[in-house]
Homo-oligomer: A and B are copies of this chain.
């Protein structure tokens, strides 16, 4: 059954009972919801567009998952605890109802993973699938992108380039089980919500790496006016092996990959041990990859020399 034949009322009758209740005066199906926050809130949003963000072969359930994950990652990067999310959907009328069900299953999986209430939304007919997610979180002291200080260390919560390698594998229709973990990193990324929460105590600056390592560091540099020197590339064995066996440059995968949700954290070197312990307590290993300097830009330290990293990264699929 196509959404066109189902009609808006039936779509709403499917979605509204599946919304979470925020426990205020207004329930699902009203013009909005109400909520009494206990403190400072963080507001963020991310839009996912089929033609730019969804490669052929990606299951719709993962699209729903990723739409919510992207906003949860923005909250994580500010050290905020997810409270609630609002989902606006542009749905092509020729989509099957099973497609909508799959998207919603992905949203529900993510809702459970991040303990966030999906309280409302809006559905519209559109030419391509568009998911606009808005999210609210709470944080006592949200961590800005640009708060780094010269001398700070730069840490990350995991390796980079996995999603880029996974996307490459999905795009080439590869089904080799060796690379399944990389495809999974691309299709089912996890937002580092708990890591963001525990890091906020020590982080001077924090950002998620959804635009890739190089671009994310440039985003920090733009707001702090400082320089970010990468001394060790956060590269893991899977990415190294994938790059070698496919003739790709691993450095490019790591720096210009994008669609990853690891956190980039700057912190006073004095706090390295404490931050490492905090991250360990939520199952996350801190890797120090470099340091912040008083000279604007993003740099790679190679054989004792500072090489400027291009802002946009080198590795853009489909651009």
Contact = CB atoms under 8 A, between A and B. Distances in A.
Residue in A32, A36, A89, A146 whose Cβ sees the most chain B Cβ within 10 Å: A32
Given A45-B121, A47-B90, 7 more contacts: A26-B144, A34-B42, A34-B142, A43-B119, A45-B132, A49-B90, A52-B124
Given A37-B41, A90-B49, A142-B34, A127 B127 contact: yes
B78 A31 contact: yes
17 contacts: A9-B311, A26-B145, A29-B223, A31-B44, A32-B42, A32-B43, A32-B137, A33-B44, A34-B42, A34-B78, A34-B80, A34-B139, A35-B40, A36-B39, A36-B41, A43-B136, A44-B120
Contact of A32 (B27, B53, B78, B130): B78
A122 B47 contact: yes
Residue in A30, A51, A90 whose Cβ sees the most chain B Cβ within 10 Å: A30
A222 B30 CA distance: 10
A104 interface: no
Contacts of A78: 26, 30-32, 34
